A = this chain, B = another copy of it.
């Protein structure tokens, strides 16, 4: 049984092994750049972990694992264009380092490459693996569109928000696990339970992201605490607070989450105070734990004896402080 660290190392090695054509340079250099920026590599690791539940031969899972990582990085690349983001993992985004056209086209090429890597699986399971992958890929795009729509939408319900983060974040984690299972020739029940494990884990993970962004420890968080508040992002914390607040609190929140100018520290402090008055940190953690427990219940149902790395991964994920 492989440890998390071994899986991560394997992914990094395989990513470095990819030989991109040298020309057109503006097409392939950005792909190498974006894949070299690092990241948690959660999706390929989950795919490999699901695969090893059923098979000792990791070789069949490597290309599809790289595929989900390449696809994920393609979505980051195009999301960064859409969000006009200057930085990704502390480095210049592709559209900043090159330009928008380069970012659009190298992203497109990455998506094709992801499909090429998925297509290396055995012929008899290729159709099923592609179905899982394409469904998730479509949902990721839908999630991104909803996320952009919500910026200009006055009323976003909590169920709409949860659906959005499920599509934007969870389904690719879920699909990675299911693909690993299918490639490892699991039963379809196990594959579906692993999908549900990933889907719930992903939602819990995103809720934790929302929580840490406002209430993380500034010493260990890595980013500026309060970034979502400063960006007027309609996170779960904000939406739940709007639901729970009285008229005065609601007015205050709406005021802070408008485009008016406030002193940054003052704004973060005041919004967090309202969140705390309304018990939002606890409510967020409770909802996160609900999804976390649902995730575990699905993993419990998986019939393999080699689930330890997945439990360990889940534990590590929710012990994180950034």
Contact = CB atoms under 8 A, between A and B. Distances in A.
Interface of A: 21, 24, 26-27, 78, 81-82, 100-101, 104-105, 107-109, 111-113, 115-116, 119, 123-124, 126-127, 130-131, 134, 137-138, 141-142, 144-146, 148-149
Nearest to A138: B112
Nearest to A110: B141
A108 B145 contact: no
A156 to B, nearest CB: 13
Given A119-B127, A126-B127, A134-B119, A145 B113 contact: no
Contacts of A141: 27, 105, 108-109, 112
B78 A105 contact: yes
The 4 closest A-B pairs by CB, nearest first: A24-B145, A27-B145, A82-B101, A109-B141
Contacts of A134: 112, 115-116, 119
Nearest to A27: B145
Contacts of A145: 24, 26-27, 105
Copies assembled: 2
Contacts of A144: 105
Given A104-B104, A111-B112, A123-B124, 19 more contacts: A24-B145, A26-B148, A78-B104, A78-B105, A78-B108, A81-B104, A82-B100, A100-B100, A101-B148, A105-B141, A108-B111, A109-B141, A109-B142, A112-B137, A113-B138, A116-B130, A116-B134, A119-B134, A126-B130
A131 B118 CA distance: 11
Given A111-B111, A123-B126, A27 B142 contact: yes
A78 B107 CA distance: 11
A83 B219 CA distance: 46
Contacts of A119: 127, 130-131, 134
Contacts of A109: 138, 141-142
Contacts of A78: 104-105, 108
A130 B115 contact: yes
16 contacts: A26-B145, A27-B145, A78-B105, A78-B108, A81-B100, A81-B101, A104-B104, A111-B112, A112-B134, A112-B137, A112-B138, A113-B138, A115-B115, A119-B134, A123-B123, A126-B130
Contact of A123 (B111, B116, B127): B127
A237 to B, nearest CB: 23
Contacts of A126: 123, 126-127, 130
Contacts of A116: 130, 134, 138
A149 B26 contact: yes
A137 to B, nearest CB: 5
A24 B108 contact: no
B24 A149 contact: yes
A139 B81 CA distance: 23
Contacts of A137: 112
Contacts of A108: 78, 107-108, 111, 141
